[in-house]
Chains A and B, each alone.
Chain A
Amino acid sequence: MTEYAILLYANRDDLVGDGDGTEREEHDRYSEEMQEGGTMIAAFALESYETATSIRAGGITDGPFIEAKEVVLGFYVIEATDLDAALTEARRNPIIHQGGGVEVRPVEGFVVRPTSTE
């Protein structure tokens, strides 16, 4: 098994969740399915790109690191036998028919510290 990170992208002018909430619901459902199926190892939904701060050698600037039309909304890590299996899983992501897309990248390694309870 290999871990794959799936990064969610969407057009910053057309962000998921702005509507009546049905788009968000689709994501929740998809996430639950992956948790029940044991495919998903970890998931991180990020706050709006407007809350991002970037650091370069030249200093600190506001906003996302790459000035592009699309921004990262979040990412999750799944376990899959091979790239085809990972792509099959990733293709089910609702973001794809919501005007965005995903990027699938093999994970080289990761560490997760249990979240503090206090």
Chain B
Amino acid sequence: MENEARRAVADTYQREWARVLAATIRTARDLDLAEEAVQDAFAEALTTWERDGVPKNPGAWLTTAAKRRALDSLRRASTYRMKLQLLVEPEHREGDDAELVTADTGGGDVVADDTMRLVFMCCHPSLSSEAQMALTLRLVCGMTTTDIARCFLVSESTMSARLTRAKKKISIARIPFQVPGPADLPGRLGAVLGVIYLLFTIGHTAPTGEELMKKETVGEALRLALLLHELVPERAEVDGLLALLLVNDARQASRLSVDGRSQRISEQDRSAWDHAAILEARELIAGHVQAEHPDQYTLQASIALLHAEAPTYDEVDWREIVRLYDQLLLAWPSPVVQLNRAVALAKTRGPQAALDVVVGLEDDGQLNRYQYLPAVKAYLLDQLGRSDEAHAARTRAFELAANEVERDFILRQND
């Protein structure tokens, strides 16, 4: 019983944090108060569920508990409340009390909408892009400050101060808890797309811990991408991002072997991939990929699709992939893209040409804490028969990797 409750709480935290928080913000209209109420509700769940069993709908139970706690605090502090900078109310307020009572019915659409509001609030252009990402990870994903600090390669105290500043700005400047209207929406998309992409990247390879993927984070990213796609149909970047997420998700089942070990794409069982999702992704980007300057998400989706659609690993069209990476570098001049391009380059122009690029990136220094740089370097050095240097590079990759599954993968290569 005790373990079951614990597992259920941990599971609900991963799956439902954003929805519970978003719904509580509606009631509390104050970020700190809402966060505190949600955290208390999770603590309450632990003892109550151990005693009474896990409720049928844990998310709804937590939402009700968190809202009640928020309301209690507001009532207790009713005089203080007058001075409190309340968050801007979302449009539909009438239903709030009713929702509190009937929370057990779920009400998917409204809640999903609240998560989107939370995302747009976190991605408001009056916040720096670092703050936008950090806030989204904290508020939408419920990630700890420690983990966020690690993602950004900064100290925990720096990250904690950054989050506090950002939350203060939301409250004092009254950044609204809402999805912007049609006039503002296009200008706001870039940041939101960037954050959904980041969620997906982090979920795809969880920065710390024992599982390679945090399915819930990937699931949340995919859900937000779908929602955004509904909100803003037929926009290249939105379609591209959704396609990219679909393709990668389609391959998710085969990324780990049966014993939970990381598998190279060349070793994966292609028949286990979700080919319907791959087809859907292809249709999404079909109209955008021929544009003169496709956006970065459409290009990344195209690259992922070339991998996904090849019947076998040996039939992957590497020349086309290198060409797409060249285009991607124009849309997104990032050293990470150059590193990925180097892997494809090894296939078309050999490991030495690729290694030259990687060494150039290494000298550049921007990726000196990025575990995949020494990992790629080791892979190329191996092909050139320089196994001692490969071993050293792999050791470096191991030192930088914080995810247990990836550490295990690197370690196996060095055995």
**Which A residues form the contact surface with B (CB < 8 A)?**
2, 81-84, 87-88, 105-106
Which B115-173 residues sit within 8 Å CB-CB of chain A? 124, 126, 172-173
Q: Is there contact, CB below 8 Å, between B173 and A84? A: no
In the complex, chain A residues whose CB is within 8 Å of the CB of B180: 84
In the complex, chain B residues whose CB is within 8 Å of the CB of A81: 88, 174, 176
Q: Is there contact, CB below 8 Å, between A84 and B184? A: yes
In the complex, chain A residues whose CB is within 8 Å of the CB of B88: 81-82
| Contact for B172 among A87, A88, A106, CB less than 8 A | A106
Nearest-neighbor residue (CB-CB) of A4 within chain B = B173
In the complex, chain B residues whose CB is within 8 Å of the CB of A83: 124, 126, 173-176
In the complex, chain B residues whose CB is within 8 Å of the CB of A87: 126
Give the dominant DSSP class at B's interface.
loop
CB distance from B363 to the nearest CB of A (A): 36
Give me the 6 closest cross-chain CB pairs, A-B, nearest first: A82-B88, A82-B176, A82-B174, A106-B173, A83-B173, A83-B175
Q: Is there contact, CB below 8 Å, between A84 and B176? A: yes
In the complex, chain B residues whose CB is within 8 Å of the CB of A2: 174
Interface centre among A2, A82, A84, A87 (most CB of B within 10 A): A84
**CA–CA, A106 and B180, complex, Å:** 20
**CA–CA, A40 and B117, complex, Å:** 29
Nearest-neighbor residue (CB-CB) of B124 within chain A = A83
**CA–CA, A54 and B408, complex, Å:** 63
Nearest-neighbor residue (CB-CB) of B184 within chain A = A84
Interface contacts beyond A84-B175, A87-B126: sample of 17 additional A-B pairs, CB < 8 Å, sorted by A: A2-B174, A81-B176, A82-B174, A82-B175, A82-B176, A83-B124, A83-B126, A83-B173, A83-B174, A83-B175, A83-B176, A84-B176, A84-B178, A84-B184, A88-B184, A106-B173, A106-B174
In the complex, chain A residues whose CB is within 8 Å of the CB of B183: 88
CB distance from A5 to the nearest CB of B (A): 11
CB distance from A104 to the nearest CB of B (A): 8
In the complex, chain A residues whose CB is within 8 Å of the CB of B172: 106
**CA–CA, A87 and B125, complex, Å:** 11
In the complex, chain B residues whose CB is within 8 Å of the CB of A106: 172-174
**CA–CA, A82 and B183, complex, Å:** 16
**CA–CA, A88 and B180, complex, Å:** 11
In the complex, chain B residues whose CB is within 8 Å of the CB of A82: 88, 174-176
Nearest-neighbor residue (CB-CB) of B172 within chain A = A106
**CA–CA, A81 and B177, complex, Å:** 12
CB distance from B4 to the nearest CB of A (A): 44
CB distance from A48 to the nearest CB of B (A): 30
**CA–CA, A116 and B269, complex, Å:** 84
In the complex, chain A residues whose CB is within 8 Å of the CB of B176: 81-84
**CA–CA, A58 and B258, complex, Å:** 73
Q: Mark B72-91, 1 if CB is under 8 A from A, else 0.
A: 00000000000000001000
CB distance from B30 to the nearest CB of A (A): 14
Nearest-neighbor residue (CB-CB) of B120 within chain A = A84
Nearest-neighbor residue (CB-CB) of A1 within chain B = B174
Nearest-neighbor residue (CB-CB) of B87 within chain A = A82
**CA–CA, A84 and B177, complex, Å:** 10
In the complex, chain A residues whose CB is within 8 Å of the CB of B175: 82-84
Nearest-neighbor residue (CB-CB) of A85 within chain B = B176
Nearest-neighbor residue (CB-CB) of A87 within chain B = B126
In the complex, chain A residues whose CB is within 8 Å of the CB of B126: 83, 87
**CA–CA, A105 and B126, complex, Å:** 11
**CA–CA, A83 and B173, complex, Å:** 6
Which B98-124 residues sit within 8 Å CB-CB of chain A? 124
CB distance from B356 to the nearest CB of A (A): 43
**CA–CA, A105 and B176, complex, Å:** 15
CB distance from B263 to the nearest CB of A (A): 46
Interface centre among B172, B178, B183 (most CB of A within 10 A): B172
In the complex, chain A residues whose CB is within 8 Å of the CB of B174: 2, 81-83, 106
CB distance from A21 to the nearest CB of B (A): 31
CB distance from A94 to the nearest CB of B (A): 19
CB distance from B192 to the nearest CB of A (A): 15
- Enumerate 20 A-B pairs (CB-CB under 8 Å) in ascending A order: A2-B174, A81-B174, A81-B176, A82-B88, A82-B174, A82-B175, A82-B176, A83-B126, A83-B174, A83-B175, A83-B176, A84-B175, A84-B176, A84-B180, A84-B184, A87-B126, A88-B183, A105-B173, A106-B172, A106-B174
Which B7-25 residues sit within 8 Å CB-CB of chain A? none
Which B179-215 residues sit within 8 Å CB-CB of chain A? 180, 183-184
**CA–CA, A83 and B184, complex, Å:** 13
Nearest-neighbor residue (CB-CB) of B176 within chain A = A82
CB distance from A49 to the nearest CB of B (A): 26
**CA–CA, A84 and B184, complex, Å:** 9
Nearest-neighbor residue (CB-CB) of A2 within chain B = B174
In the complex, chain B residues whose CB is within 8 Å of the CB of A84: 175-176, 178, 180, 184
In the complex, chain B residues whose CB is within 8 Å of the CB of A105: 173
In the complex, chain A residues whose CB is within 8 Å of the CB of B124: 83
